[in-house]
Chain A
Amino acid sequence: MASGDNDDVGFKHRHESLMNCSSSQMNTNPLSDKVDAMAMSSISMYNKPSNASDPFFGSGWDPIVSLSQSESLVGSSMVSHSEFADTQYSLLMENQGISGTSHFSQYQSDPSFVELVPKLPGFGSANLSEMVGPLSLPQCSQMANSRRPPIYALIHEGGSERASTNSTQSRDEHQISEEGLVGASPNGKSRKRVPESNSPLGSYQNADEEPQKDASGESGDVPKEQDGKKQKTEQNTDANSRGKQKQAKSGEAPKENYIHVRARRGQATNSHSLAERVRREKISQRMRLLQELVPGCDKITGKAVMLDEIINYVQSLQQQVEFLSMKLATVNPELNIDLERILSKDILHSGGGSANVIGLVPGINSSHPLSTGNFPGTISGIPSTYPQFPPLPQTVLDNELENLFQMGFDSSSAMDSLGPNAGRLKSEL
Chain B
Amino acid sequence: MNPQHLNASSLKSRFTRRFLRALTKINAQKPISSSSPREIFQRYGRIKAAADKSMANSVRSRRTWSRAMLWKLRSRSYRQASSGRRSAVKTSTTTSHQAIRKKTNHEKENKPTKTGEDQVGFVVQADELRELVPGGEAMDLCNLLDETAHYIKCLTTQVQVMKKIVDFYSL
Q: Which residues of A contact B (CB under 8 A)?
A: 3-9, 13, 97, 99, 101-102, 272-273, 276-277, 279-280, 282-283, 286-287, 289-290, 293-294, 303-304, 307-308, 310-311, 313-315, 317-318, 320-322, 324-335, 340, 343-344, 346-354, 357-358, 360-361, 364, 371-372, 375-376, 382, 401, 404-405, 409, 425, 429
**How far is the CB of A76 from the nearest CB of chain B, in Å?**
38
Q: Are B162 and A343 in contact (CB under 8 A)?
A: no
**How far is the CB of A349 from the nearest CB of chain B, in Å?**
7
Q: Are A332 and B169 in contact (CB under 8 A)?
A: yes
Q: Are A293 and B27 in contact (CB under 8 A)?
A: no
Q: How far is the CA of A336 from the CA of B70 in the complex (A)?
A: 28
Choice from B44, B114, B156, B170 contacting A329 with Cβ under 8 Å: B44
Q: Is the interface of B mostly helix, strand, loop or mixed?
A: helix
| Chain B residues whose C-beta falls within 8 Å of the C-beta of A330 in the assembled complex | 35, 40, 44
| Apart from the given pairs A314-B133, A340-B24, A354-B164, 16 other A-B contacts in the complex at a CB distance below 8 Å | A6-B156, A7-B7, A9-B150, A276-B117, A310-B148, A314-B129, A314-B155, A317-B156, A321-B155, A328-B166, A329-B41, A329-B44, A334-B32, A349-B6, A401-B171, A425-B171
Q: Are B117 and A347 in contact (CB under 8 A)?
A: no
**What 9 pairs between A and B have smallest CB-CB spacing?**
A286-B145, A307-B125, A329-B44, A329-B43, A317-B155, A324-B162, A325-B48, A351-B5, A7-B10
**How far is the CB of B51 from the nearest CB of chain A, in Å?**
6
**How far is the CB of A296 from the nearest CB of chain B, in Å?**
13
| Chain B residues whose C-beta falls within 8 Å of the C-beta of A364 in the assembled complex | 166-167, 170
A425 to B, closest residue via Cβ: B171
Q: Are B129 and A310 in contact (CB under 8 A)?
A: yes
A-contact 0/1 string along B1-16, CB 8 Å cutoff: 1101111011111001
Q: Are A348 and B6 in contact (CB under 8 A)?
A: yes
Q: Are B16 and A335 in contact (CB under 8 A)?
A: no
**How far is the CB of A46 from the nearest CB of chain B, in Å?**
21
Q: Which of B103-153 contact A (CB under 8 A)?
A: 114-115, 117-119, 121-122, 125-126, 128-129, 132-133, 141-142, 145-146, 148-153
Choice from A294, A321, A327 contacting B158 with Cβ under 8 Å: A321
Q: Are B5 and A349 in contact (CB under 8 A)?
A: yes
Q: How far is the CA of A405 from the CA of B171 in the complex (A)?
A: 10
Q: How far is the CA of A409 from the CA of B166 in the complex (A)?
A: 14
Q: Are A328 and B165 in contact (CB under 8 A)?
A: yes
Q: Are A351 and B2 in contact (CB under 8 A)?
A: yes
**How far is the CB of B87 from the nearest CB of chain A, in Å?**
30
**How far is the CB of A293 from the nearest CB of chain B, in Å?**
5
Q: Are B35 and A404 in contact (CB under 8 A)?
A: no
**How far is the CB of A219 from the nearest CB of chain B, in Å?**
32
Q: How far is the CA of A409 from the CA of B121 in the complex (A)?
A: 47
**How far is the CB of B45 from the nearest CB of chain A, in Å?**
8
11 contacts between A and B (CB under 8 A): A6-B4, A7-B157, A8-B7, A272-B115, A290-B148, A314-B148, A314-B152, A343-B20, A347-B161, A348-B5, A372-B35
Which among A9, A318, A335, A364 has the highest number of chain B CB atoms within 10 Å?
A: A9
Given contacts A311-B129, A352-B2, contact A346 B168 (CB under 8 A): yes
